[in-house]
Amino acid sequence: MGLEMEAMAASIGVSVPVLRFLLCFAATIPTGLLWRAVPGATGRHLYAGLTGAALSYLSFGATSNLLFVAPMALGYLAMLLFRRHAGLITFLGAFGFLIACHVYYMSGDAWKEGGIDATGALMVLTLKVISCAINYSDGILKEEGLREAQKKYRLTKLPSLIEYFGYCLCCGSHFAGPVYEMKDYLDWTERKGIWASSTPSPLLPTLRAIVQAGICMGLYLYLSPKFPLSRFSEPLYYEWGFWHRLFYQYMSGFTARWKYYFIWSISEAAIIISGLGFTGWSESSPPKAKWDRAKNVDVLGVELAGSAVQLPLVWNIQVSTWLRYYVYERLIQKGKKPGFLQLLGTQTVSAIWHGLYPGYIIFFVQSALMINGSRVIYRWQQAVRNSVLRSILAFLNFAYTLLVLNYSCIGFQVLSFKETLASYQSVYYVGTIVPIVCLLLGNVIKPARKPKAQKAE
């Protein structure tokens, strides 16, 4: 069996641990399908938790489940003993434990070299236990003054241990997400809310996600040998001209994204086929089933983004939603508008969640600059009336997003401070300078505000 695994791993260019993970990850699809046949809510909770733990054991080994117990136990004890502050306690404790695991296992280096460990799954689990604890704390607050997301997801009752166990490890969905809410999980398991009546067949959307995963993996396997990450540290890269280096940065980022598209397409198929991904019906005629809870990426939305502001809505969608609900919106003071500091704080949390590597931190600071620079161009675009000029500004925003995104994401890939700065310097920091120039110009060239309609006396 060991020799067969080695031969199979070598044939697709991955290590044996990565192949084992991929096989267990693919197994989440039939696991989700079988969930539908389990009788009773308690049985479904137990099935969800036990299959998730079993897949973790087969993929990462026995120590993975021991790692997962720590944040799960912390979150539940905080809810049980310190309800008012359970969200804050779990946020700090679970994030602290995740950071310690990132440092101990050096997970970024392992991923960069083609390895795998349980910290990726721990990242998803961390978000789930934090949101559950925060929503339970929100459950004692009065509805007046709460945001819509707080009203929708707050928990007035403490989930049972079996419910919590099933939610945290549900059918292996902690491997790569998507992140979802405890309230949605409970309604799905107990056949309440939109799941109270019969739900549409998940067959076609599941097949679409599987086909998409196959295409994404094929493109990644084709492109990755042509645009290896190691090229950034080779003398050949620095012998090229500016435009050649800039093109290679674009292709490096473009190539790397197909790996993530593959992973998220598999997780989308698993969540759809289980039924959890169902989010209701569209308002079109005839109405169509929506599976938005399963969706973590819009491939064309990323590659053809007309503005950097759109990227959080189409890339790692459920994590972006989590960051908006549990970080960004909670940093906004009542009566005040959000600004750059709230965005920077959110991006910093996202960077720390990924790991304490300089490349991650630089990337997410760059992202904050990129988004704010794109907002400036968009404001100019909306202010002009000339359709030709508006089209030119729209194209500039598209080109700006393409340039700065692929420049910035080199840091996310190479991780080290030295390599990140070297790659940025090789193109004269163009992806940093352009957003800063846009922000400075935005303070000088301010579009005229539309006059407010006068109130009738």
Q: From first to last of the 457 residues of the chain, give the pLDDT tens digit.
A: 566 777 777 777 777 888 889 999 999 999 999 999 999 999 999 999 999 999 999 999 888 899 999 999 999 999 999 999 999 999 999 999 999 999 888 766 666 666 688 999 999 999 999 999 999 999 999 888 889 999 999 999 999 999 999 999 999 999 998 999 999 999 999 999 999 988 899 999 999 999 999 999 999 999 999 999 999 999 999 999 999 999 999 999 999 999 999 999 999 999 999 999 999 999 888 889 999 999 999 999 999 999 999 999 999 999 999 999 999 999 988 778 888 889 889 989 999 999 889 999 999 999 999 999 999 999 999 998 899 999 999 999 999 999 999 999 999 999 999 999 999 999 999 999 999 999 999 988 887 665 554 433 3
Same domain membership, residue 171 and residue 49: yes
Same domain membership, residue 181 and residue 43: yes
- Yes or no: say if 376 and 404 are a contact pair by the CB < 8 Å rule: no
Whole-angstrom Cα distance, residue 172 to residue 51?
A: 7
Segment (H or E) for 270: helix 242-274
Q: Which of 170, 195, 220 is the last residue of a domain?
A: 195
321 backbone φψ class: left, alpha, beta (φ>0; ψ -120 to 50): alpha
Same domain membership, residue 168 and residue 20: yes
Does a structural domain hold residue 216? no
Q: Which of 145, 165, 195 is the last residue of a domain?
A: 195
CB atoms within 10 A of CB 63: 12
Same domain membership, residue 319 and residue 179: no
Instruction: State the greatest distance between any 2 C-alpha atoms of the chain, in Å, as a whole number.
Output: 85
Best CA proximity match to 167, nearest among 49, 296, 82, 53: 49
Whole-angstrom Cα distance, residue 90 to residue 203?
A: 38
Does a structural domain hold residue 314? yes
Same domain membership, residue 185 and residue 65: yes
Does a structural domain hold residue 229? no
Same domain membership, residue 324 and residue 185: no
Range of the domain at 391: 305-449
By CB neighbour count within 10 A (0-12 exposed, 13-18 middle, 19+ buried), where does 204 fall?
Answer: exposed
Whole-angstrom Cα distance, residue 385 to residue 397?
A: 17
**Could you give the number of structural domains in the chain?**
2
Does a structural domain hold residue 241? no
Does a structural domain hold residue 406? yes
Q: Which of 195, 210, 238 is the last residue of a domain?
A: 195
Same domain membership, residue 140 and residue 16: yes
Does a structural domain hold residue 233? no
Q: Which of 45, 102, 174, 354 is catalytic?
A: 354
Does a structural domain hold residue 371? yes
Same domain membership, residue 191 and residue 64: yes
Would you call 354 a catalytic residue per the annotation?
A: yes
Does a structural domain hold residue 281? no
